[in-house]
Structure 1
Amino acid sequence: MLARCLLAPCLLAASGLAAATNYTLWINGRNGGGTVGDYDSFAYWGPASTPAGINKKAANWDGRSSIASQSGHLRDALDCFCTGANWCYIAAHSAGDLMIGYTLANYGGSTRVKKNAVANAAGVCADLGGSAGGTQAGWNIKWVRVAAGSGGGSELADAGAWAISEPLVQDLRTVTARAMYNHNATRGIWFYMYAGARGALYSALLPGQDDEVEAYHSAGGVSGSSGAAFCNPRDWFCNDLTLGSAANQGGRPKWNTHSVAFRDDGEDYNHYVNGNWGGIVSVMRAAVAASAL
């Protein structure tokens, strides 16, 4: 037995320590599609075989109920894969931005029990035993990347363009979304934003550049209690959404630890995933695949 336990995994097992593993969690937006609790269900995104970061997991929620009522599903995923020796990369789309922002602001400093990364059918993992177990404050997250983020809400919800009474639509109103939690309270974790600009159908309702659902003020992580018009540099009639974390043209800052990683100057990318990692998600997915290692 001793002769076969000279390798690191055996030594870790004998000492009760767990090997460190990185995971990539994908948080869906409105309408959902993946099975809640099944971390291998990528129906919202596209083929599960598509490269999308190391050890990718789908942190599914129903995409219809309120952010507050569904946050528990994300907390289960974060507990499973982002505690103990394990670390996570986070990728979110649309209302998934509200979900991770709300969860970090309200629970990111709470006491979490370290888990073993083996989930049951409900998406809950067992406590990590031995000397590697115990508790920790918050989760181990390297960064968050967001495509078409709804942290600032959408004017489509304000205008009743989604003529339904689902709770999530109420959360997506611009004033509601911006007041839902402290958007600056990211626990020091950086949010890298990807803003699409191939808007057409609802552009009259959305200020500045948009992807048909989210205007740049939301997709770009622009701070404040209400939305405003932000555009690409070639648009002379609108303040620019700046790249990086610097204040935008006109002086309006971004939320703390928010940075625009991609601005769709060519107006090539819309909001929609289309079951094939499409739209602005395609740009973010490529960046995640290259950097979530």
Structure 2
Amino acid sequence: MITTKHLSFGYKSGKHVFSDLELSLPKGSIVGLLGRNGEGKTTLLKNLYGQLFSKEGEVDVLGFTPRERKVAFLQQVYMLPEEIHVPQMTIRRYFDISAPFYPTYDEAVAQELIDVFGLDWKMDLKKISQGQKKKALIAFALALRVPLLLLDEPTNGLDIPSKGEFRRAVARYLGEDQTLVISTHQVRDLEQLIDRVVILEKGQIYCNESIADLSEKLYFGPIPSEDQARALYSEPSIVGTVGILPATGEPTEDTFSMELFFNAVVSQRDALLRIIHSSSNPNI
């Protein structure tokens, strides 16, 4: 589905955003692309979409080289940027002009999503709020039914009810054969959706693991005082110390915490590696 080999990219300043980056993502997954500000999450998405061209290395997406911008490739991929710029026209007109380029577009899904998001086809994209604009384009993205969706900070600008509507819409309308890559800082907004986590740190992929595998190897939740010495990562909270421990294999009601995991990878990567290094994934 997505493979990069020895990918390097930098802007005119000469500094590389990432160097020799290796990434492989499977078909039919919802991927959370995480990283601190300036780590290159948006840059990576644009390389995958063919908006930016790497200095070195290879990028393969759906069997295409994105930088070639072939029509057959562009018809199968859609990227929704964080900053939205829209023309002065109604939502209906925007869909009517843009949708014919994508053979998999589903008008019935579009209608349902417009209703779910509380929008009206007659709304002028230039005159509605930023949150409404984002919901309109999220509806468009999901209605396309393309094999690969790239969403850059999709929940930024959405109010709390709209974030819930977004999660439910993705869960309902994303097909099993579709792959969704979401670059986000809002990990709590998307934690229930994502089934694979990729962390970009210091120009490298520090983690590329399924949440199911991580949950088998790690415990996330409250850390009793007697267990704090063996915690892989811990931090204070209003309910006491929470963190990550090696899993014991016993059933637990606590669930994977993307926020805890991200904080742990950034600050205590080596400790986590000792636990999850058994994975065959070369990106760990």
TM-score by length of 2: 0.29
Larger strand share, 1 or 2:
2
Give the number of the structure whose residues are more often helix, by fraction.
Answer: 2
Query: Which one scores higher on RCO, CA 8 angstroms, separation ≥ 6?
Result: 2
